[in-house]
Amino acid sequence: MSEPSTPEPVISMRGATATLGARTVLRGVDLTVGRGEVAALLGANGSGKSTAVRSVIGQVPLTGGTVELFGTPLRRFRQWARVGYVPQRTTAAGGVPATIREVVASGRLSRTKLRLPGRADRAAVDRAIELVGLSDRAKDSVSALSGGQHQRVLIARALAAEPELLIMDEPMAGVDLASQEILAETLREQVGAGTTVLLVLHELGALEPLIDRAVVLRDGCVTHDGPPPEAMGQHALPGHDHVHPHAASEPARTGLLT
């Protein structure tokens, strides 16, 4: 008991294995993210990045290994308001007519539960919309938004709960440059405020300066865990294509990732 204790990890995944259909997608993944840390999960298409983060929040059951969130085993974890999750490229519209503000406000439900929203709740929703630069469009229908704006709405929805841990799956995928800059700035603010962040990325790109640690997956195994390898910041090394299924333009190159 003499040594100063390191801060309790916010995410602690140990020896995680998972299968989807007949396919083993995670083969013993260790992933630890400490409080206030910004970690990037990198890897080629199909390496298991999305499956790993979905396992962290219990959307994909593990066949082996363990996950703890804020020091609590996942099966006992109930404090979901502490976790904001932005899934990979979904739409905020969902076929139901809703305004930007309504969609973002739905992200606050994990805090309000069954009580009526109060002033602090409304302020958190307004602030989340402001952070992603959509204040002037708050009353517009989400069905009229571009892909990048959709993504900003989904991120604002996650931020509305003021999460301590923010998990985002390829937040920059298919997002126009202007929205990318706003998202990077939003993330900078969150990180500055002490939020712990886990990002799935296929390249570090504009977010590189924010990343403390990179964890690289290959075929369901961790092949690197440490400072972001330099080559990952650029579209480096020829012959290593990562083709993003959602990218409209030419394939991005991700160097060490494949």
Ligand X SMILES: Nc1ncnc2c1ncn2[C@@H]1O[C@H](COP(=O)(O)OP(=O)(O)OP(=O)(O)O)[C@@H](O)[C@H]1O
| Footprint of ligand X (CB under 6 A) | 20-21, 23, 25, 43, 45-51, 202, 245
Given the complex with ligand X, which of 29 and 124 has the nearer CB atom?
29
Give 52-74 as a DSSP string.
HHHHHTTSS--SEEEEEETTEEG
Burial of 7 (0-12, 13-18, 19+ CB in 10 A): exposed
Beta carbon of residue 220, minimum distance to ligand X (angstroms, whole number): 7
Beta carbon of residue 44, minimum distance to ligand X (angstroms, whole number): 7
Sheet holding 23-34, edge to edge: 23-34, 9-20, 64-69, 72-73
Residue 23's beta-bridge partner residues?
20
What's the DSSP call for residue 99? B
Beta carbon of residue 140, minimum distance to ligand X (angstroms, whole number): 30
Beta carbon of residue 108, minimum distance to ligand X (angstroms, whole number): 28
Given the complex with ligand X, which of 127 and 240 has the nearer CB atom?
240
The tokens for 4 are: 């100063």
Given the complex with ligand X, which of 90 and 135 has the nearer CB atom?
90
CA separation for the pair 19, 70 (Å, rounded): 25
Given the complex with ligand X, which of 9 and 43 has the nearer CB atom?
43
Given the complex with ligand X, which of 103 and 173 has the nearer CB atom?
173
Beta carbon of residue 176, minimum distance to ligand X (angstroms, whole number): 20
* CB of 200 closer than 8 Å to CB of 170: yes
> Within 10 Å of residue 245's Cβ, how many Cβ atoms?
11
